[in-house]
Structure 1
Amino acid sequence: MNRTTTSTPTTAFSTGARPPGRRDPRRPGAVRPQRSRHVPPHELFAERLLAVLSGHRPVHWMLGQTVGEAYEQLVRLAPGTPLRARGVRPVIRTCRFSQPRPGVVEASASIAAGEQVRALAFRLERSGDLRWRCAAVEVGGERVTTDA
């Protein structure tokens, strides 16, 4: 039986270096840095409000991100943790928005925790420094007033 062996020449490609003509330094299987995804402001604030109203974050976490009566609304809502569910962490099912005029976003989110589904509505306003801030919050259709 005639046995022939073939040997492959040693090249830069077979030693792990990049193929000829390839200029980028990436290697197969290398971990690529994740690209930062732009999150729309209504989705970002829905997540932030959910964290506060489910008891995962304190109310003062939203202090610089609110204007007008919104912080007072959160102070009144948060102790009851209206979006908390036993044993299940609530998640945002849907988040929709409308823009009645430039610099204003009115949004609503559907929050699910197990079998329970609640509604969250809020208003965002863009300030002079181009940052979005929450101006009003409602949970489950019950409007929270600042009257004592």
Structure 2
Amino acid sequence: MHWMLGHTLGEAYEQLVRLAPGTPLRSPGPRPVLRRCSVQAHPAQGAVEAFATIATGARVRAMAFRLERGDDQRWRCAAVELDGLGTAAAHRT
């Protein structure tokens, strides 16, 4: 998780911290595989909203995320949600 600190903005790191204990992409079987990743929207200049589908064996999960480009021109994750878990995790605290 600490590696992600330099690649996230604000609440996104906290969202990842809340998701991590549940290890939602881990399973005792096969390793997760990225099946698809696509940009959904450009809500503002220097920002994109995207989604990915991740397969773990027969199970497919959905992940949505927002990337924002900083003044240093580096892209950082500003928000993340996994099958609705990002929102649910925020309401549990």
User: Is residue 121 of structure 1 aligned with residue 61 of structure 2?
Assistant: no
Q: Which runs of 4+ in 1 moved over 3 A?
A: none
TM-score (norm: length of structure 1): 0.57
TM-score (norm: length of structure 2): 0.89
**Structure of greater Rg:** 1
Q: Which protein is richer in strand relative to its size?
A: 2
**3-state SS of paired residue (1:145):** helix
- Aligned 8 A contact 1:73 1:146 in 2: no
Q: Which protein is richer in helix relative to its size?
A: 2
Cα distance in 2 for residues equivalent to 1:73 and 1:117? 21
Partner of 1:137: 80
Structure 1: stretches of 5+ with no match in the other structure = 1-58
Aligned-residue Cα RMSD (Å) equals 1.4
Cα distance in 2 for residues equivalent to 1:78 and 1:122? 16
Cα distance in 1 for residues equivalent to 2:27 and 2:16? 18
User: Is residue 80 of structure 1 aligned with residue 80 of structure 2?
Assistant: no
Higher-RCO chain (CA-CA 8 Å, sequence separation at least 6): 2
Alpha-carbon deviations, 1:73-113, whole Å to 9, x = none? 11110111111122210011010112222200101000001
Identity of aligned residues (%): 63
Cα distance in 1 for residues equivalent to 2:91 and 2:6? 19
Q: In the alignment, which of 46, 50, 70 is matched to residue 103 of structure 1?
A: 46
Cα distance in 2 for residues equivalent to 1:81 and 1:61? 16
The equivalences for 1:1-148 within 5 A come to 59-97=1-39, 98-142=41-85, 143=87, 144-145=89-90, 148=93
